[in-house]
Amino acid sequence: MVKWCDENNINIKTYYYWQRRVLNAVCNELAIAENNVEKSPTFSEIILPGTRTSEVAITLTLNNISPQIHNGADESVISQTLKVLRNIC
């Protein structure tokens, strides 16, 4: 790192100062993102009478959320699930 700083006329202390600032900014952004994930909607399995819930038809993964839509799911459940996911994106 010292060699690169010398070659690019950057003071090593200045380099580490800005490295620390960028690292702190990234950590703050990650903390904000983690807090927002906790506030995002959660999904629960709803078992409807007469449906076979053991077979997963669709699994979507987005931002650490993985809702599964099972065979026999009602069209309105699928529609509402996709609307919620669209709002998260």
CA dihedral 72, 78, 79, 83 (to 10 degrees): 180
Tokens of 63: 């931002």
Q: Provide the CA 38 distance to its chain's centre, in angstroms.
A: 10
| 6-15: pLDDT as tens digits | 888 989 898 8
In eight-state DSSP terms, residue 45 is: -
Name the pTM for this structure. 0.36
Same domain? 31 vs 46: no
Band of residue 88 on the pLDDT scale cut at 50, 70, 90: low
Q: What is the per-residue pLDDT for 50?
A: 65
Q: Are residues 29 and 53 in the same domain?
A: no
48/16 same-domain check? no
Are 34 and 47 in the same domain? no
Pair 28, 2 in one domain:
yes
- As a residue count, the chain comes to 89
How many domains does the chain fold into? 2
Query: Looking at per-residue confidence, does 63 or 36 come out higher?
Result: 63
The C-alpha atoms of residue 43 and residue 32 are separated, in whole angstroms, by 22
Q: If you write DSSP's letter for every residue of 74-89 in order, what string do you get? A: -HHHHHHHHHHHHHH-
Domain hosting residue 67, numbered range: 42-89
Claim to verify: residue 58 and residue 47 sit in the same structural domain:
yes
The verdict on 3 and 35 lying in the same domain is yes
